[in-house]
Amino acid sequence: MENLVEILTSNYPKTVALANGTRITLRPLLKEDESALVEYFRVMPMEDRLCLKEDVTDPKVIENWIYTLDYDNLLPLIALDNGRIVGDATLHFSAIGWTQHQGELRLTTDSQYRVKGLGTLMIENLIDIATRLGLKQLSAEIPPVLDKAFYLFEKLGFKEVAVLKDFVRDKEGADSDLVLMLKTLQAA
């Protein structure tokens, strides 16, 4: 098991190439990224925002994320194209309690960067970090309307383990199911 600070300082920022050759920088979210993150979520299509757990169009939500940034429980990894945020993936975890061996992954990407490998690269990086931290299991919660996300996680070794009927209510009041996916990690 490695120390998160060591993992981050020795591996990030990292430049990666998407399938179309676009060079993207991956790195942890920093406090000075607040306005860029507000802009990223402001221009996100409504249908993408409907599936998120929080109202990311509220600058106070982003401000709270920035000012409570704590890499000991939550690692937000952002993707930048020429300084503009084009992806946000998070690893949620806790070093104490009955879920200390587990992490949860969340992912959003700019619609113009989909089907180019960005989501895959971001999730692969978080899986690597989780493995190096000694986590044994990762989960992802996916509403069925996000079928492309389901297939992305499935491609990366996640398995559907439960469907919670009418579990999610979007901002328009529509109920939908929630698919829980899990991946068992192998020791690094």
Give the tens place of pLDDT for each residue, 121-165: 999 999 999 999 999 999 999 887 777 888 999 999 999 999 999
pLDDT of residue 59 exceeding 90: no
Query: What are the tokens at 107?
Result: 């992912």
pLDDT value for 24: 97
Q: What is the pTM (predicted TM-score) of this model?
A: 0.90
CA nearest to 125, candidates 150, 110, 107, 102: 107
188 pLDDT higher than 70: no
Question: What's at 33, amino acid-wise?
Answer: D
Asked if CATH classification 3.40.630.30 holds for the domain at 4-138, the reply, yes or no, is: yes
> Where does the pLDDT of residue 51 fall: very low under 50, low under 70, confident under 90, or very high at 90 and above?
low
Q: What is the DSSP string of 55-87?
A: -TTSHHHHHHHHHT--TTTEEEEEEEETTEEEE
